[in-house]
Amino acid sequence: MTTKWTVDPTHSEVQFKVKHLMITTITGNFTSYNLEVETEDDDFTRAHQIEFTADVDSITTKNEQRDTHLKSSEFFDAEQHVLISFKGKSFEPSGDDYLLHGDLTIKGVTKPLTVNVEFGGIVTDPYGQTKAGFTVSGKVSRKEFGLTWDAVTEAGKIVVSDEIKLNCEIQLIKG
């Protein structure tokens, strides 16, 4: 039997981290996103649909000037590329955790991506809703997706690293 799951945005977060000047890490979030999953019964290893989208315009790093720059054509080009998307292809056991394989599309460029997934379990909340929890982590090269803006300081330090770390806390609602 097919089971449909949707993201619970009040108990989830989609976060990324990037090195700035190679000495500190800046954290950003997407505040508007969607995730829909279809499984056979409650078995996520038998998922046949995993579709995630994030609204580029919802990016926030708690710095308005930086957020505006990230939405510009030098980075995400939010006017032309409204969404970031990920379509999962397979969810496979890997030790005590899982690997999620799929295709990530940013700024019109699609590349394969594998992320690590820690399955937190399935529970029924106090309101009778069945929920499943996951921690998702991975890394992407921003330049592979056309986010190539770069600058170098007078001392030769890179301003923004190529590697972006992903960290998502996801709670799904069955139904």
Host domain of residue 125:
2-174
> Predicted confidence band at 154 (pLDDT cuts at 50, 70, 90)?
low
Provide the β-strand partners of residue 51. Answer: 36, 87
pTM of model > 0.85: yes
Q: Do the Cβ atoms of 76 and 59 come closer than 8 Å? A: yes
Please say whether the beta carbons of 41 and 4 come within 8 A: no
CA angle, 140 then 141 then 146, to 5°: 120
**Mean pLDDT across the stretch 4-13?**
98
Number of domains present in the structure of the chain: 1
DSSP letter (8 states) at residue 152 = B
Cβ–Cβ < 8 Å for 115, 100: yes
Task: Fill in the amino acid letter for 34.
Answer: N
Q: How far apart are CA 134 and CA 159, in angstroms?
A: 32
Return the residue matching tokens 């600058």. 151
Sign of the dihedral through C-alpha 132, 47, 93, 32: negative
**Taking 70 as the threshold, does the pLDDT of residue 157 lie above it?**
no
Is the pLDDT reported for residue 159 higher than 90? Answer: no
pLDDT of amino acid 12: 98
* Number of other residues whose CB lies within 10 A of the CB of residue 134: 22
Average pLDDT, the chain: 95
- Tens of pLDDT, residue by residue over 86-131, are 999 999 999 999 999 999 999 999 999 999 999 999 999 999 999 9
pLDDT at 151 over 90: no
49 vs 15: CA distance, rounded Å: 22
Look up the CATH number of the domain holding residue 98.
2.40.128.110
